[in-house]
Amino acid sequence: MKARTVVTKVLLATLPLLVMFGCKHQENSPAAAPQTKGPAAATVATAKAVSAVPKVIASQGGIKISGSQSGSVKVPAKQGGYLVKFRYKGYGLKLEVDSALGPLNLIPGGQVAASDGWIECEDLTSLTGNGEQEYRITATDPFEIEFVHLPLPVSADPLPQSYSGTGLKVVGPISLKAGSTAFKVSCPDLKQAGFIAELYDGRTAQNKGIIALGTGTKVAETKRLQLPAAGDYLVKINANGRSDWTIEVSQ
């Protein structure tokens, strides 16, 4: 999340089958004793991991959900803003919830897998209260979803600052003063997809304005936003996973 780094950390997408396991049956042969060590045991362990239903690990700083198939989990939600980190394989991942604490429908899409087959992207969300929520997850392949409670445990970047990356990412936090702030945005090729960059409060994840909106072939513009108060802010960029972009921030 620091400056001058490609943020590898939501349009969002989901997951193809990683591996399938079968079992052979041999006629007219004696039953083999169960093998508890070696490659066979490793294969069985991997099979169990791949078919795992979603599970939750909650801590004071956030929530982690992981698995490789669809299911529902109950999460002890805490009021406030969250950075949501997605790491998954395949296509079709959905995270949905509808409660008094606020609707949550995160469907990462249009992103690109790394050489190891995993896709990584980020989003922001905000919950209006405390309490248990039931999250519905649709998945057919391995996934990891991490909710990091804001503010992020890092120092804010000073101005002027430049960020670059691809696809759906969140950059910052950026330390901004009250008043006019300039955002110079460049995305030379939208890859036949939309593009939007937005400013968010670094503590609450509340939207503070649109920085750039692209519906054509590229984005090349500078926009100024009037900030009512000084503070730490985050910028969320939602773009095609093959689209390279840069954002320069100054006051």
Identify the pLDDT of residue 7: 36
**Cβ neighbours, 10 Å, residue 202:** 25
Tens digits of residue pLDDT in 115-166: 999 999 999 999 888 888 889 999 999 999 999 999 999 999 999 999 999 9
Q: How confident is the model at residue 106 (pLDDT cuts 50, 70, 90)?
A: confident
Instruction: Assess whether 95 and 175 both reside in one domain.
Output: no
Is residue 41 assigned to a domain? Answer: no
CA torsion sign, 225 to 229 to 231 to 233?
A: negative
The answer to whether 18 touches 175, Cβ cutoff 8 Å, is no
**Residue that wins the pLDDT comparison between 91 and 14:** 91
> What is the per-residue pLDDT for 76?
86
Q: What is the pLDDT of residues 28-82, one digit of tens each?
A: 333 444 444 554 444 444 444 444 899 999 887 789 999 999 999 998 888 899 9
Query: pLDDT at position 100, please?
Result: 67
Mean pLDDT value across residues 229-240: 97
What's the pLDDT tens digit per position in 181-222? 999 999 999 999 999 999 999 999 999 999 999 999 999 999
DSSP string across the chain: --TTSB-----B--B-----------TTSPPPPPP-SSHHHHHHHHHHHHTPPPEEEEETTEEEEEESS-EEEEEEE-SEEEEEEEEE-BS--EEEE-STT--EEE-B-S----TTS-EEEEEEEEESS-EEEEEEEE-SS-EEEEEEESSPSSPPBPSSEEEEEESSEEEEEEEE-SEEEEEEEEES--TTS-EEEEEEETTT--EEEEEEEE-SS-EEEEEEEEESS-EEEEEEEE--TT-EEEEEEE-
Q: Do the domain assignments include residue 15?
A: no
Residue 14 near residue 138 (C-beta atoms within 8 A)? yes
Among residues 149, 175, 201, the one where a domain terminates is 149
Total tally of structural domains belonging to the chain = 2
The pLDDT value given to residue 54: 95
Predicted pLDDT of residue 24 = 31
| CATH at residue 138 | 2.60.120
Which has the higher per-residue pLDDT, 174 or 58? Answer: 174
- Write down the mean pLDDT value for the chain: 82
How far separated are the first and last CA of the chain, in Å rounded? 21
Which CATH number covers residue 186? 2.60.120.380
pLDDT band at 101 (very low <50, low <70, confident <90, very high): low
- Supply the pLDDT for residue 6: 37
Q: Are residues 206 and 242 in the same domain?
A: yes
Asked if residue 110 is part of any domain, the answer here is yes
* pLDDT of 97: 85
CA distance 39 to 23: 15
| Domain annotation covers residue 20 | no
Sheet with 143-149: list strands edge to edge. Answer: 55-59, 62-67, 143-149, 80-88, 119-127
Domain that holds residue 234: 161-250
94-97 and 161-166 strand pairing:
unpaired
Residues 6+ apart with CB under 8 A from 39: none
For residue 102, what pLDDT is reported?
Answer: 63
Last residue of a domain, one of 110, 126, 149: 149
